[in-house]
């Protein structure tokens, strides 16, 4: 049967403590034991179903983790206080001093800064490569390499990683393939394609209401247990734990993700086609002109579409800023970083979310000054949105 990730969420069944249709929220930082022996066993990791302390795990976090694991098709998952709070412990858990990472060079600016500026302090070095060129990835692997790291659809350039090709390389050299799937939840299922660990910033599409930051690591039971280990687990010891109240609210939003993703994708595809036809340099994985369009088609779960992220290059930073300010003034969206909201969000990544990347490197990877990254919202009347956006472009001389 065809893999349908949202169906797995649909099939989950949890009741609250008093028969509530939502699970009860565990509003406690610590848990009591009827016997001292059980407390000891729990510390040792040998008391299934018992809770110890909320930095380790909580019932609310486990419910959300299980739902996300079901969506990604992994054995289990650990939710974290932010996307970076998921990415950093995973990499620190997988790498020791002296190890090496091969990473896509087009990744979220915070992840780039962590690998470029922070992990070298721990003697973990990273080679940044063009992830779309498997030969370049393979050529960067050394006997110290432990991890291949990429985003399924990269922030902000929307490059698409060949997860199956990368997984083959990872297996060949005994590496872990870690994939950040933040831009393409439901649309792509990296585990199905051979990835070892999948990460999300829940802050974005999955939560979808721009009211919190959050993250998740989806993987094998063994790896998640390692992350949570009281003696040497990076999630447990670095402390990027999600709060239970938040876990409960993210779980409620997760239930509508499949409906939202279809609408984000339909709106994204509509606008991308229109603006490309108007002669604006448009990047969207759903356009035949995208260099990895066929690859994305091969990897995707068709019903969720090509996602809600697109970029338009309007020629210069001045024009980009002028357009974004005017679009906000006309209530077509917000000039804001982040993504996955009901409103369209837009920003110029070179001076915002990717500003950690030095200018020469931005140029080399094709991150131009006039690039605007759009997270297309859930607009019901996308035809009207298009007409109004186009009018803004005409008024400031882009069209």
Q: Which of 57, 60, 74, 82 binds ligand PLP (CB under 6 A)?
A: 82
Cβ proximity of 310 and 385 under 8 Å: no
Q: Is 305 in the site for ligand PLP (CB under 6 A)?
A: no
Residue 308 gets which letter from DSSP?
Answer: S
Q: Is 60 in the site for ligand PLP (CB under 6 A)?
A: no
Provide the 10 A C-beta neighbour count for residue 281: 15
How deeply is 277 buried, as exposed, middle or buried, from its count of CB atoms within 10 A (0-12, 13-18, 19+)? exposed
Provide the 10 A C-beta neighbour count for residue 350: 22
Q: Which of 5, 59, 65, 83 binds ligand PLP (CB under 6 A)?
A: 83
> In the complex, what is the shortest distance from the CB of residue 48 to ligand PLP, in angstroms, rounded to a whole number?
30
Q: Is 106 in the site for ligand PLP (CB under 6 A)?
A: no
The window from 107-115, 123-131, 163-171, 288-296 that contacts ligand PLP (CB under 6 A) reads: 107-115
Q: Is 157 in the site for ligand PLP (CB under 6 A)?
A: no
What SS3 state is found at 185?
coil
- What H or E segment, with its residue span, contains residue 249? helix 244-254
> In the complex, what is the shortest distance from the CB of residue 259 to ligand PLP, in angstroms, rounded to a whole number?
22
- What length is written for the chain? 399
Q: Is 206 in the site for ligand PLP (CB under 6 A)?
A: no
> In the complex, what is the shortest distance from the CB of residue 12 to ligand PLP, in angstroms, rounded to a whole number?
24
Residue 23 or 185 having the CB closest to ligand PLP: 185
What SS3 state is found at 118?
helix
Q: Which of 215, 219, 333, 350 binds ligand PLP (CB under 6 A)?
A: 215
User: What DSSP assignment string belongs to 262-289?
Assistant: HHHHHHHHHHHHHHHHTT-EEE-TTSTT
Q: Looking only at residues 114 through 153 of this chain, which bind ligand PLP when binding is defined by CB under 6 A? A: 151
100-139 burial code (b ≥16 CB/10 A, e <16) = bbbbbbbbbbbbbbbbbeebeeeebbbbbbebbebeebbe
Q: Which of 203, 210, 244, 354 binds ligand PLP (CB under 6 A)?
A: 203
> In the complex, what is the shortest distance from the CB of residue 23 to ligand PLP, in angstroms, rounded to a whole number?
23
Residue 54 or 152 having the CB closest to ligand PLP: 152
Q: Is 184 in the site for ligand PLP (CB under 6 A)?
A: no
Residue 96 CA neighbour count, 13 Å, CB half: 2
Q: Is 108 in the site for ligand PLP (CB under 6 A)?
A: yes
Q: Is 369 in the site for ligand PLP (CB under 6 A)?
A: no
Q: Is 155 in the site for ligand PLP (CB under 6 A)?
A: yes
List Cα–Cα distances, 90 to 45, 65, 106, 241, 376, in angstroms: 20, 16, 19, 13, 30
Q: Is 210 in the site for ligand PLP (CB under 6 A)?
A: no
* Rounded-to-integer distance, Cα 289 and Cα 277, Å: 11
Contacts with ligand PLP, 325-364, as mask; x by CB under 6 A: ----------------------------x-----------
Residue 322 or 356 having the CB closest to ligand PLP: 356
The window from 26-34, 80-88, 130-138, 232-240 that contacts ligand PLP (CB under 6 A) reads: 80-88
* Rounded-to-integer distance, Cα 120 and Cα 375, Å: 33
Q: Is 201 in the site for ligand PLP (CB under 6 A)?
A: yes
Return the HEC string of 161-184.
CCHHHHHHHHHHCCCEEEEECCCC
Residue nearest ligand PLP, Cβ-based:
83
The window from 29-37, 45-53, 175-183, 239-247 that contacts ligand PLP (CB under 6 A) reads: 175-183
Enter the tokens of residue 238: 């670095």
The contact set with ligand PLP (CB under 6 A) reads 82-84, 108, 110-111, 151, 155, 180, 182-183, 201, 203, 213, 215, 353
């Amino acid at each position: 049967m065809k893999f349908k990730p949202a169906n797995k969420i649909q099939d989950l069944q949890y009741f609250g403590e008093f028969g509530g249709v939502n699970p009860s929220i565990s509003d406690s930082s610590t848990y009591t034991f009827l016997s001292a022996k059980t407390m000891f066993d729990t510390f040792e990791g040998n008391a299934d179903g018992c809770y110890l302390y909320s930095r380790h795990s909580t019932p609310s976090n486990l419910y959300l983790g299980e739902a996300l694991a079901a969506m990604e098709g992994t054995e289990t998952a650990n939710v974290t206080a932010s996307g970076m709070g998921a990415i950093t412990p995973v990499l620190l858990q997988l790498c020791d001093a002296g190890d090496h990472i091969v990473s896509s060079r087009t990744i979220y600016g915070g992840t780039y800064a962590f690998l470029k500026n922070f992990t070298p302090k721990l003697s973990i070095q990273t080679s940044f490569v063009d992830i779309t060129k498997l030969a370049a990835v393979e050529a960067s692997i050394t006997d110290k390499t432990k991890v291949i790291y990429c985003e399924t659809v990269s922030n902000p350039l929307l490059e698409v990683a060949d997860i199956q090709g990368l997984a083959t390389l990872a297996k060949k050299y005994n590496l872990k393939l870690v994939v950040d799937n933040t831009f393409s939840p439901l649309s792509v299922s990296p585990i199905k394609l051979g990835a070892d660990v999948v990460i999300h910033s829940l802050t974005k599409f999955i939560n979808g209401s721009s009211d919190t930051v959050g993250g998740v690591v989806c993987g094998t039971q063994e790896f998640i247990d390692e992350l949570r280990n009281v003696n040497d687990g990076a999630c447990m010891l670095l402390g990027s734990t999600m709060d239970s109240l938040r876990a409960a609210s993210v779980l409620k939003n997760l239930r509508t993700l499949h409906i939202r993703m279809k609408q984000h994708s339909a709106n994204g595809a509509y606008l991308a086609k229109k603006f490309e036809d108007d002669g604006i340099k448009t990047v969207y994985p759903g356009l035949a002109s995208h260099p990895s369009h066929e690859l994305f088609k091969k990897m995707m779960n068709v019903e969720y579409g090509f996602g809600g992220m697109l970029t338009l290059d309007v020629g210069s930073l001045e024009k980009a800023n002028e357009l974004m300010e005017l679009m906000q003034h006309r209530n077509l969206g917000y000039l804001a970083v982040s993504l996955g909201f009901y409103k369209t969000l837009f920003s110029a990544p070179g001076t915002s979310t990717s500003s950690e990347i030095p200018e020469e490197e931005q140029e080399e990877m094709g991150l131009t000054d006039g690039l605007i990254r759009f997270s297309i919202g859930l607009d019901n009347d996308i035809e009207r949105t298009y007409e109004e956006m186009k009018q803004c472009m005409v008024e400031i001389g882009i069209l």
